[in-house]
Chain A
Amino acid sequence: MNRRKIAYDLGVILMTEAALMVLPLIVLVIYKEWRMLPSFIIPVAALIVTGKILAWKKPKRENIYAKEGFMIVSLAWTLMSTFGALPFVISKSIDKGNFIRSFVDAFFETVSGFTTTGSTVLGEIASLPRCILFWRAFTHFIGGMGILVFVIAIMPKAEGSTIHIMRAEVPGPTVGKLVSKIGASARILYAIYSGMTLLMMIMLLAGGMPLFDSITNAFATAGTGGFCCLNNSIEGYYSVAGCNAVYCEWVIGVFMMLFGINFNLYYYLLIKQGKLVLKDEELKWFLGIILGATFIITTDLTFASDIVIDLPDAVRQAFFQVNAFISTTGFSSVNFDLWPTVSKAVLVFLMFVGGCGGSTGGGLKVARVIILIKNSIRSIKKAANPRRVETVRVNGRPVDEDTVTGVLGYFGLFMILGIISFFIVSIDPYTADLTTGSTAVFTCLNNVGPGFNLVGPTENFGEFSILSKLVLSFDMLAGRLELFPMLLLFSKIGSGKKKYL
C-alpha cells in the first residue's frame, strides 16, 4: 500500500476543495452577507492547512493499484464531506443545540450534497443566507462528475495508473476513456458537463426564474442532486411572481433526463458519430423506461378517483416526477406522496433503476439492470435445458462473463447493505412504519433524495437519530461510489488485518 501517495493525493484534493469554497465567498461578497464571513474563512483555512500537511512531501513511488485507488476515493469523499459540513455548523444554519448533533446533521447534509442525493435535514430553507444556499447547491455540482475527475482534469500530466482513481469514482459497470490521455478525457467530460449546465441556466433565466435560483437549480440538476432553495422544491416556483413555472418545470424535467444519459454519447455527438448514439442499447432502454413510466402514471392520475387533474398537467407532472426519480435527482413539482399506489410503485421501481452508466445519476444504473434482466432470462433457459450455452449480449456484443458476475455481486451486496441499514434505521423511534424506513434507506443508497410517508417530498430527515443519520450518510457515500470503495475502507478499519488487501 503506497500510503505516502494516498496522503499526497488527499492533500491535493483538500486544497482543491479550499479553492472551490472561494465561489460561495464571492456570493457572500455580492449579497453583502458579511456576518457569514467566518463560516467560510475558517473551513478554507482548515482545508489549506490540512492539505498542506498531507501533501508536504512528494511521494517517492508514484505507482498505485486498484486498492490505493479505492482508498483515495473513499477517504477523499469522507474528508471532503467533513470539511464541507463546517460552513453549516459555524453559520448556525444547522443548529440542534449541541455541537455533536449539529455537526452530524451538517455532515448528513453535506454528504447528501456531494453524493448528489438531495435528502435534507432542513425544514426551513428559503430563509437561509444566500452563500450557504449556494454552497449547498454547489456541492451537487462538484459531486456530480466527481472531485477526483476534476483533479485529474486540472493535473498537467497524469500517471498511467490514475485510471484506478477514475474507475473508482465514475459510476457504471465499466469505464472507458474517451481519448488516449486520461487528463484529456476528464477535461472533455467536464467541458460537456459545464456546457450543459450553462445552457440549462440560460434556459431557466429565459423562463423568468431569478438568476440565483437559475444557477442553483442548474447545479442541482446537473449533479442530479435535488437541493432547491425553496421550501417545497420546484413546486414553490408556482408562487414566485414573474416566473413561468410550467415552462421551468418542463426545462428541468428534460435536463434531468439529459443528465441521466451516458456522457460518452454527447462526446460521440460532438465528434459527429451520431450513429453510435442511436445504436446504444442502454439509451434505448432508458428512454423506453421513461416513456412507459410516464404513460402509466399519467393514466393512473387521470383515472384516480380522488385527484382532479387535466391531461396536460398530468403528463407534465408525470414526466417531471419520472425523470426526477430515474435520474435520481429527487426534485418534486407536486406532493407525489398523495398519488395513488400504482404511481408510487412505479416511482420506487425507477428509484432502483437510476441513470445510465457514465452519467451523473445514481441508482443501480440502466446498464446493470439490462444485464440483470438478460442474465435472469438466460438462467431460465438454462434451467429448462441445462446443456445450453448462451452469452449475455449488450449492444450486440457479448458481455464479458466477469462483468456479469460483477453485476450480480454488486446487486447482491447492494441488497445486503440496504437490508442491514433498513434494520438499523428501523430501531429509530422516528421510523413509524415500513414505508418510511425502507424508502429512507433506499432513497439514500440510490442517491435519489425524497422517499415516502415521513421522508416524503414535504418532509425531511431532520428528526432521525444520530445513528440513523450516520448509517444513511454511509449509504449515500456507498451508493455514490458504487459500494466497493466505502466497504473496503470500512473492512480495513474494522478488521485491522492486512491479509484481505
Chain B
Amino acid sequence: MNIIIVGQGKYGMTLTQQLANENHDIVVVDVNSNAVTTAVDTYDVMGICGNGATVDILKEAGAKKAKLLIACTGSDELNILCCTFAKELGTENTVARVRNPDYASQSQFLRENIGINMIVNPEYETANEISRIIRFPSVASLDSFARGKVEIARIVIHSDNPIIGMQLSDIRKKFKSNIIICAVQRGSDVHIPDGNFIIERDDSLSITGTRSALSSFMKQTGVYKHKIKNVMIIGGGRIGFYLSELLCNTGRNVKLIEYDEERCHQLTNELSDVTVICGDGTNQDILEEQDIENQDALVALTGIDEENLIVSLYGEIRNVNKVIAKVDRHSYSILNNIGIETLVSPQLVAGTLVTRYVRALENSADNTHIQTLYKLLDGKIEAAEFIVPPNWAHNEETFRDLNFKPNLIIACIIRGNRIIFPGGDDSIISGDRVIVVTAGRYLKELHDIFKLG
C-alpha cells in the first residue's frame, strides 16, 4: 500500500518503523533533513525534505495516487491542513494527529465535513489505555476481542506464584479454568508455548479467556489485585489531564501532582473533582507527604523517562498495588527486566492504533477476513481475529488432525454466543470467529495457519 507519512518526530518514526515492517511502500516527509536521512537510512522508505502541507511537496510524494496519508507533525493545524490538501489531490484516506483538546473534541466534524478519516490523539489514547488497566489491575496490559467478549491479558509471574515450574498441560488440569496461555515472554525472547512448556519466574504470560475466567485464574494463582480506588498521578501534562478526567468519571479518587503552579490552577479549573497538588512529584518527601502508602495505584507521567522509572521503582518498593510508568524511549530492550510491571508508551499506543487501521484498509482492499488485529509484547506477537469463510474445507477435522504451522496457537473460537478455548477435540467451522496468535509472522488470511502441502 502506498503510504505517505508527514512528520518524522517520535510518533512519525515509530509509525514508520511499524509500517515499514509490514512491507508497505512508504514515503516520509519532514522539514528537517536529518530526520529524513535517519528514516531513509534505517528503514526501506523514500524520503522527501520539505513542508508536507504544500501542494508541491505532496505531489512529489505521490499524494495523487497514495492510498493513505498520515500527518503526525507537532502542529495540529499543519496536520489538518496537510490532510485536507492531500484529500483534495486524490489521496484516498487520511489520518491526522490532533492533540489539542479543543480540536480533538470536534473529531466528528473533521471526519464528516473535512474528510479526515481518522483523528489520532496519542495522549488521549494513552490515557484511555492506562484507565483500562486501572479498571482491571491484575494484569500488566489488556486487549479485548470480539466486541469485548474475549480478553487477552498479560500477567507477570512473580517469585511467589504457584505455577512456577509447572507444565502448561498440568496448569490447565489443576486450575480447571477455561483459559489459554498463548504467548510467553522470557527476557527479550518470545515463545508460543506448547503443552510441555514449563513456566519460570519473571515470565510474562499472555492469556486469553473471558473476564470471569481470567479473574478466577488470577485469584487461584495469587496475582489477583484488589480494585483500585485511590490513584496518584505524577505529572499534569495532557495525558495526566485526560487520565484524571477518565478516572474521575468512573468514581475514583485522583490525586494529581504537578510541578508548575500556573498549570495547577488551570487543571483545578477544568477538573473539579481532582485533588491537585503543586509540588515536585519526583521528590521522595513529597510522595511520602502525599501518603503514597495508602494509594492503590501510582501513575508516573512526567516528561522525563528516567524520573518516571525512578518514581515507579519507588512505588513498587513501597508496595503500591499497581504501578504504571510512561516511557517515550520504548526501544530500549532492558525496559522489560527492570522490575516495573506496566510500561506505557504513547508512541506505541498511537502506532498500534494506526497500524490496526492500515490493516483494516488493506483487508478491505484484499477482501480477506481479519477483523481485528493486536500487536502484543512490543509487536513481537500478533493476535488476529478472523471470520471463517463459508467455503472452509476443514469443518469436520479436529485439531488433532490438522497440520498447523509451528509458533502459532488458536487462542479462542467464538461460535454464536459460545466461547470455546479449544483443545485437541475441537474443530473450526464456517462462520466461527477465530483468534490466532502468532510470533514473528504476519497472517494475511486464515488458510495461512496451515503448513504448506
Contacts and interface: CB of A to CB of B under 8 A. Distances in A.
B391 interface: no
Given A179-B25, A400-B33, A160 B41 contact: yes
Interface in A166-185: 176-177, 179-184
A164 interface: yes
Interface in A424-439: none
Interface string B79-118: 0000000000000000000000000000000000000000
A390 interface: no
B41 A163 contact: yes
B230 to A, nearest CB: 45
Contacts of B43: 160
Contacts of B45: 160, 180
A461 B24 CA distance: 51
B91 to A, nearest CB: 15
Nearest to A162: B44
Given A157-B23, A160-B20, A400-B33, A181 B44 contact: yes
A377 to B, nearest CB: 25
B42 interface: yes
Given A157-B23, A160-B20, A182 B44 contact: yes
Given A180-B45, A180-B46, A163 B25 contact: no
A65 B41 CA distance: 8
Contact of A179 (B20, B33, B40, B46): B46
A180 B33 contact: no
A124 interface: no
B33 A158 contact: no
Contacts of B24: 180
Interface in B30-58: 33, 40-46
Contacts of A180: 2, 24-27, 44-46
Interface residues of B, number: 15
B23 A163 contact: no
Contacts of B20: 160
How many A residues are at the interface, by size bracket? 10 to 19
A149 to B, nearest CB: 15
B31 to A, nearest CB: 14
A379 interface: no
A177 B41 contact: no
A474 to B, nearest CB: 29
A161 interface: yes
B42 A160 contact: yes
B44 A160 contact: yes
Q: Give the dominant DSSP class at B's interface.
A: mixed
Nearest to A185: B46
A181 B42 contact: no
A176 B27 CA distance: 12
Nearest to A177: B46
A184 B24 CA distance: 12
B40 to A, nearest CB: 6
A159 interface: yes
Contacts of A176: 46
Interface string B332-352: 000000000000000000000
Interface string B401-442: 000000000000000000000000000000000000000000
Nearest to B26: A180
Nearest to B48: A176
A157 B42 CA distance: 14
Contacts of A184: 25
Contacts of A65: 41
B41 A159 contact: no
Contacts of B44: 158-160, 162-163, 180-183
A177 B26 CA distance: 12
Interface string B1-39: 010000000000000000010011111000001000000
Nearest to B39: A160
Nearest to B2: A180
Nearest to B42: A160
Contacts of A179: 25, 46
A105 B191 CA distance: 57
A155 to B, nearest CB: 11
Given A179-B46, A180-B46, A400-B33, A164 B41 contact: yes
A161 B27 contact: no
A182 B45 CA distance: 8
Interface string B301-320: 00000000000000000000
A169 to B, nearest CB: 16
Contacts of B40: 160, 163, 177
Contacts of B41: 65, 160-161, 163-164
A162 B44 CA distance: 8
A101 to B, nearest CB: 44
Contacts of A177: 40, 46
B66 to A, nearest CB: 11
A42 B40 CA distance: 41
A400 B34 CA distance: 12
Contacts of B26: 180
A161 B44 CA distance: 7
Contacts of B25: 179-181, 184
A295 B43 CA distance: 48
B358 to A, nearest CB: 15
Question: For B2, B33, B43, B46, which residue has the most chain A Cβ atoms within 10 angstroms?
Answer: B46
20 contacts: A157-B23, A158-B44, A160-B42, A160-B43, A160-B44, A160-B45, A161-B41, A161-B42, A162-B44, A163-B40, A163-B41, A163-B44, A177-B46, A179-B25, A179-B46, A180-B27, A180-B44, A181-B44, A184-B25, A400-B33
8 pairs of A and B residues whose beta carbons are closest in the complex: A160-B43, A180-B25, A160-B44, A180-B46, A177-B46, A160-B42, A180-B26, A182-B44
Given A160-B44, A161-B41, 18 more contacts: A157-B23, A158-B44, A159-B44, A160-B20, A160-B40, A160-B42, A160-B43, A160-B45, A161-B42, A162-B44, A177-B46, A179-B46, A180-B2, A180-B24, A180-B26, A180-B27, A180-B44, A183-B44
Interface of A: 65, 157-164, 176-177, 179-184, 400
